Structure 1
């Protein structure tokens, strides 16, 4: 141990190279002890975890020193009537925000007592948009024309890199001499960012060779990945999912302690008018809360919460109650790859019955997306109800968030 620490201090052994000489567990321990000695911090808690780390250091992280543990609670049962999710689920939520699980749990109870949430996936496609440099705007138009006339050739090149991904749409965009090709793929049960990036590289080679365009970057930010963007709200990215439920006046009064008219008014003035006045790309009460908690629990890319936050919540008063719906234009999720193989995250996916590849391919990821949308609906119902009944501050105070 001391020998390795001394070699790191002398610079003859790099922190990132420890796994080349030691097993994963030992490498993580040595690296953590070195950081402790350099910083003076006690990192014992970071070193106490249950996930097997061989896979983590191979696929998920570099320079690992331990693991941060996030409390996981469950909300439910949540009845879902989707095209893929057709059961009652307990939703795992990883969070340190007191009252969140209780809030979602109340929404789950309301949805289940109302007969369950109807959920449908409207679009399913992961995007990547490389950017090319043209010589001038005439050349830019020529590149676009070539792309439009050779879609089948582009598709063949893209799909030669993957046994699962299918290119089903490609839309060119031009800004001066910059040409963006926004490609959309069916990535089955994978979230698919690695898949579409590799496929896009192959397409880039083809476009360069055939048009004289210069590939500047595999991602030109027209995708748009991990940033709030109107193109994702309008065209969608990942799964575009809608979930809705009809609530009777009796349920609204009994569980939310308010009425349909007040519920609709709060949604209109807060989620719609307030968000518009703020120029927000999200028209919702707390969608990101639920998306983040499920994503962390289930091994999703947490940075995609920014896309999940662009949810639109609607409340329509009708005879005998109200119809409440959430629309998530951009929900990138997967049940294979990324963090889904880590032990604790895998268990959370198994709790929902969606870990791994589905039958047919893509079914598990779509089931998962429908469950997440229903969970977001539960969170919206509960928070809107708390606001309508003027209970929000009291709930935060009682659950340690005052």
Structure 2
């Protein structure tokens, strides 16, 4: 494939030191862990925010990942690319208010709607970008867990929502804590499930909710992926049955592979792959047209195009490579990650369908017998 000119990305090409070490926001800094960076693609993405042909920078130590994703890109590219849309987004923090009795807890629970506007003013005073969308109370014994749900501009928003929620709660405690009979407070009671998978994230996004899809002809499937469209569809359906029996969370092939590699390359919080990795792959086969439609739903893709690790030199260049750096590009980044994840899934399931999965790993991952 045509490789992007390295002169356009000097820090990536040189394995740079991330710029001035004094600007690194990590305690006890001793150096940098260098991870191989490969390019997958190209892939044309027809999104509402990403409308480009791009390569994906994948930071990985796993052989076959870049090759397999590139094969999936080639297949979709032969049929015009992948479509993607952002459906919604949110960022949550869930403080706990404690009471002496369930009666007091119920009373506070019922008053939350009337307190929401006051909480919004206090929370939004901490940032130009934090917007408190709603506060959803949950009653647990003598405690009320309140999910504060925000949008956070182009940042991923973990820190922004934490700071905003803390100030709003402290203001509430100072102004009305005695009146509301609050006896204790804790900033998080695990109902936000930060960096942990939780079923609530499927329905209430903690991150960007994104949907990608593409169509593959039978001819392309045979030439590029080594299988008929019908056989690939069958392989996806076999996997779904196994996933149900295993009790799998979500139903996809290996979405987390792309997310982890792009998170690291593009300056995202790698630990958030756990909550971002729930995804549902859907396969629909048209018998008459011998055509396969594949779609991927990711409900909580926790990413940002500004803030956090996106400011470091190599990560910034990686974001520039996918045309997702800076203000107004978070949703484009979500569409991009979903599209490349879909490309990898179709290639991997095709390798299962024609029994080339093990051979590919043996050929690319081993230099000799173990």
Q: Give the TM-score normalised by structure 1.
A: 0.83
Q: 1:336 deviation in Å?
A: 1.1
Q: 1:283 deviation in Å?
A: 1.2
Partner of 1:184: 149
**Distance in 2 between residues matched to 1:171 and 1:356, nearest whole Å:** 31
**Distance in 1 between residues matched to 2:158 and 2:139, nearest whole Å:** 23
Name stretches of at least 5 consecutive residues in structure 2 with no aligned partner: 1-14
Partner of 1:147: 112
- 1:116-265 matched pairs, under 5 angstroms: 116-208=81-173, 209-210=175-176, 211-265=180-234
Match of 1:305 among 267, 273, 279: 273
Q: 1:214 deviation in Å?
A: 4.2
Q: Which moved more, 1:101-110 or 1:261-270?
A: 261-270
Superposed CA deviations along residues 79-131 of structure 1, whole A, max 9, x for unmatched, are 10111001111100000000000011111111111111111111111111112
Partner of 1:277: 245
Partner of 1:328: 298
Q: 1:252 deviation in Å?
A: 1.4
**Distance in 1 between residues matched to 2:108 and 2:123, nearest whole Å:** 17
Please tell me whether residue 344 in structure 1 is matched to residue 309 in structure 2. no
**Distance in 1 between residues matched to 2:324 and 2:316, nearest whole Å:** 9
Q: 1:55 deviation in Å?
A: 4.6
Aligned length: 347
Superposed CA deviations along residues 286-319 of structure 1, whole A, max 9, x for unmatched, are 0000000000000100001101211111111114
Q: 1:345 deviation in Å?
A: 0.7
CA 190–144 in structure 1, closer or farther in 2 if over 3 Å, else same: same
Name stretches of at least 5 consecutive residues in structure 1 with no aligned partner: 1-47, 358-362
Please tell me whether residue 267 in structure 1 is matched to residue 236 in structure 2. yes
Please tell me whether residue 87 in structure 1 is matched to residue 52 in structure 2. yes
**Distance in 2 between residues matched to 1:225 and 1:187, nearest whole Å:** 16
CA 215–291 in structure 1, closer or farther in 2 if over 3 Å, else same: farther
Match of 1:296 among 250, 257, 264: 264
Q: 1:282 deviation in Å?
A: 3.0
**Distance in 2 between residues matched to 1:87 and 1:54, nearest whole Å:** 34
* Aligned partners of 1:204 and 1:215 also within 8 Å: no
Aligned-CA RMSD value: 1.6
Partner of 2:67: 102
Q: Give the TM-score normalised by structure 2.
A: 0.90
**Distance in 2 between residues matched to 1:215 and 1:316, nearest whole Å:** 52
Superposed CA deviations along residues 197-255 of structure 1, whole A, max 9, x for unmatched, are 01100221244343232453212111121111111122221001110001111111111
**Distance in 2 between residues matched to 1:152 and 1:137, nearest whole Å:** 25
Match of 1:383 among 348, 351, 361: 348
**Distance in 2 between residues matched to 1:244 and 1:55, nearest whole Å:** 43
**Distance in 2 between residues matched to 1:355 and 1:365, nearest whole Å:** 8
CA 356–215 in structure 1, closer or farther in 2 if over 3 Å, else same: farther
